[in-house]
Amino acid sequence: MDTLGGLKRTHYCGSLREANIGEDVVLMGWVQRKRNLGGLIFVDLRDRDGITQIVFDTDISPEAFNKAEKLGSEYVIAVMGKVYERESKNPNMPTGDIEVFAQEIRVLNSAQTPPIYIKDDDDVSEALRLKYRYLDLRKPSMQRNFILRHKVAGIVRNYLSENGFLEIETPVLGKPTPEGARDYLVPSRVNTGKFYALPQSPQLFKQLLMVAGMDRYFQIVKCFRDEDLRADRQPEFTQIDCEMSFVEAEDIMGIMEAMMQKIFKEALGVDIGIPFRRITHKEAMERYGSDKPDLRFGYELTDISDAVKDCGFKVFADAVKGGGSVRGLNISGRAEDFTRKGITKLEDYVKTYGAKGLAWIKWGAEGINSPVAKFLSEDEMKSVLQAMNAKEGDILFFVADKNSVVYNSLGQLRCEIAKNLGLLSKEVYEFAWVTEFPLFEYDEEAGRLVAVHHPFTSPMDEDFDKIETDPGSMRAKAYDMVLNGFELGGGSIRIFQEELQKKMFKLLGFTEEDAQDKFGFFIDAFKYGTPPHGGIAFGLDRIIMLLAGEDNIRQVIAFPKTQNASCPLTEAPSYAEDAQLEELGIKIEIKE
């Protein structure tokens, strides 16, 4: 006797319809719910596909009825029976028109009472959900997320294949890299004392594949960063990683926005227009205070530095004189939505982004209300209101500081306000490409330039002559795809000339020896005929999160890690055996 007792499943639990009435079927799945009613037993049988109502009737099979009486929640059963039309149809269920009267039942496995309910609205703690992830994943909403993820990966792969990309696997056991985030290290047993590193991205390998003439490469690939975790970060995450030869930035953007269009159409049935809006980095910062602007609403930043540079409010005037700026948001027509208490909260909010304070002017029916009014002459107030294009009913918020703080705090504030006002519809998708990023930024701690993207990004041709005189002002052939305030992916045209790549490393503070030691193999490759090339990498987890309408990437990762990089289910990481550490030539030595 086989495990399934000779039965073979004929249908999934979500598939039976009126057309199947009269058929003999075999279903297998989990007992979602059981109830006795009028001498009959009703069981909602659940599998990945849906739920079917099974009816046990002593008139049909006393034996099956008796077995059904003993069923509990989450028992695994196989049922053979006939499909009937339901007397009281359930229009809320795809299978609501039918029910299956059981002739035979096999109890394939029993179940203890599960520690979490298998239903979408169970609001148990995430810790418990992750510990019993195999139960949590039974929830229909979670199953939908993984079906969606599977589908999107398939759309991506087929689209890229059709466009000439080859999926080529690059090594997981790689070489530690000196730039970027912290590597996960893997001690080598054969080469004791040495370490592999898990890839932060396949950047060097994909560029080498272009040197190798592979022309178009992609990979849906796990990447790793040993960084302290934030809500939407995981130690391991999945990238859609792409690289192309003989292309300009516009070619890559064109192919990739069309891919996104296809994903949204095929996975969600949503039409998104292409080409996406192009916004330069400078414009994104000035209008939205962010390099990943949420374009679902307005409330753009306005620079009022000119209007206030000589005004009586010292905070404003000093910021401008010190080389910073004063900028404001006009939350037009919504003055009445902001209470004093609400404004205090917003003030606290911007402080977490480095602002020293939040000035505001509320223009209500009773006139101007503002804590800064007393510092401004009537004319000064007037010119501020004019600069902000304000009218009665508006409320204005201002930050005065150095530019980076002004952008960041106001950029975050406009999103926070939009959220509070309920303007962030998950069904609106506002895409854009942000372009012309700076090539470098100055790292005050390190006292040197660092790459905004990475050291392999090509400068813009127009800025090339600044490389000796003013490298800090150079712009990169780099582009980020953004959606609703999230960065979905970013990429660049790469440096492909040996001399330029060497110069880049020098500008980034590498000595010649150091560059040769860390990246010698890579620079060497440039000697033997490297084609112009560029690429992009997308964060798959985040894309799926947004497609699924989830707020958290752990909802779309089957077995995620917690904030402290551990797995509540398997209890990884765990202790290793001494003998194995000895083989690896390492010893635990924890310094306080």
Among residue numbers 359 through 418, which ones bind a copy of itself (CB under 8 A)? none
Q: Does 275 bind a copy of itself (CB under 8 A)?
A: no
Binding mask 22-61 toward a copy of itself (x if CB under 8 A, else -) reads ------xxx---------------xxxx------------
Q: Does 170 bind a copy of itself (CB under 8 A)?
A: yes
287 is in an annotated binding site: no
Q: Does 527 bind a copy of itself (CB under 8 A)?
A: yes
318 is in an annotated binding site: no
Which is closer to a copy of itself, CB of 37 or CB of 588?
588
Which is closer to a copy of itself, CB of 434 or CB of 557?
557
444 is in an annotated binding site: no
* Least distance (Å) between residue 519 CB and a copy of itself: 10
Measured CA to CA, the distance from residue 117 to residue 473 in angstroms comes to: 57
Pairing of strands 195-197, 367-369: unpaired
**Contacts of a copy of itself in 296-325 (CB under 8 A):** none
Measured CA to CA, the distance from residue 589 to residue 387 in angstroms comes to: 62
**Contacts of a copy of itself in 93-122 (CB under 8 A):** 108-112, 114
Binding residue for a copy of itself (CB under 8 A) from 33, 86, 175, 503? 175
Binding residue for a copy of itself (CB under 8 A) from 81, 174, 289, 535? 174
* Least distance (Å) between residue 496 CB and a copy of itself: 6
Three-point CA angle 376, 381, 382, nearest 5°: 150
* Least distance (Å) between residue 315 CB and a copy of itself: 41
Structural contact between residues 541 and 557, judged by C-beta atoms closer than 8 angstroms? yes
CA atoms within 13 A on the CB side of 2: 5
CA-wise closest residue to 209 among 445, 460, 535, 554: 535
Q: Does 196 bind a copy of itself (CB under 8 A)?
A: yes
Binding residue for a copy of itself (CB under 8 A) from 167, 470, 551, 578? 167
* Least distance (Å) between residue 10 CB and a copy of itself: 11
CA-wise closest residue to 181 among 163, 156, 201, 152: 201
Ranges assigned E (strand) in 365-477:
367-369, 395-401, 431-435, 440-443, 448-451
The sign of the CA dihedral 56, 61, 65, 67 is: negative
554 is in an annotated binding site: no
Which is closer to a copy of itself, CB of 136 or CB of 480?
136
Which is closer to a copy of itself, CB of 367 or CB of 528?
528
* Least distance (Å) between residue 100 CB and a copy of itself: 16
227 is in an annotated binding site: yes
State the number of binding residues for a copy of itself (CB under 8 A). 132
Q: Does 163 bind a copy of itself (CB under 8 A)?
A: no
**Contacts of a copy of itself in 433-472 (CB under 8 A):** 458, 461
The single-letter DSSP state of residue 452 is S
Which is closer to a copy of itself, CB of 111 or CB of 274?
111
DSSP assignment of 269-309 equals: -----SSPEEEEHHHHHHHHSSSS---SS---EEE-HHHHT
Structural contact between residues 517 and 551, judged by C-beta atoms closer than 8 angstroms? no
CA-wise closest residue to 301 among 382, 417, 380: 417
Residue type, 306: D
Binding residue for a copy of itself (CB under 8 A) from 21, 93, 128, 172? 172
Which is closer to a copy of itself, CB of 298 or CB of 531?
531
Which is closer to a copy of itself, CB of 198 or CB of 355?
198
Ranges assigned E (strand) in 346-498:
359-364, 367-369, 395-401, 431-435, 440-443, 448-451, 478-483, 486-493
Structural contact between residues 483 and 475, judged by C-beta atoms closer than 8 angstroms? no
* Least distance (Å) between residue 543 CB and a copy of itself: 14
Stretch that binds a copy of itself, among 276-284, 292-300, 326-334, 492-500 (CB under 8 A): 492-500
What tokens does 65 get?
Answer: 């009825």
Stretch that binds a copy of itself, among 2-10, 122-130, 279-287, 438-446 (CB under 8 A): 2-10
**Contacts of a copy of itself in 134-153 (CB under 8 A):** 134-138, 143, 146-147, 149-150, 153
Measured CA to CA, the distance from residue 564 to residue 299 in angstroms comes to: 37
Stretch that binds a copy of itself, among 3-11, 34-42, 292-300, 329-337 (CB under 8 A): 3-11
* Cβ partners under 8 Å of residue 90, min gap 6: 53, 96
541 is in an annotated binding site: yes
Dmax over CA atoms of the chain, in Å, equals 94
* The residue to which tokens 């055996």 are assigned: 577
Binding mask 564-583 toward a copy of itself (x if CB under 8 A, else -) reads xxxx-xxxxxxxxx--xxxx
Measured CA to CA, the distance from residue 356 to residue 398 in angstroms comes to: 11
Stretch that binds a copy of itself, among 91-99, 246-254, 289-297, 505-513 (CB under 8 A): 246-254
CA-wise closest residue to 83 among 29, 10, 34, 5: 10
209 is in an annotated binding site: no
| Helix pair 249-263, 140-162: axis angle to 10 deg | 140
542 is in an annotated binding site: yes
Give the CA distances from residue 560 to residues 186, 220, 238, 554, 567, in Å, rounded to whole numbers and listed in that order: 21, 18, 12, 6, 7
**Contacts of a copy of itself in 203-222 (CB under 8 A):** 204-205, 208-209, 211-215, 222
Measured CA to CA, the distance from residue 225 to residue 232 in angstroms comes to: 13
- As annotated, the binding site for ATP includes 225-227, 234, 487, 539-542
- As annotated, the binding site includes 179, 225-227, 234, 453, 487, 494, 539-542
- As annotated, the binding site for L-aspartate includes 179, 225, 453, 494
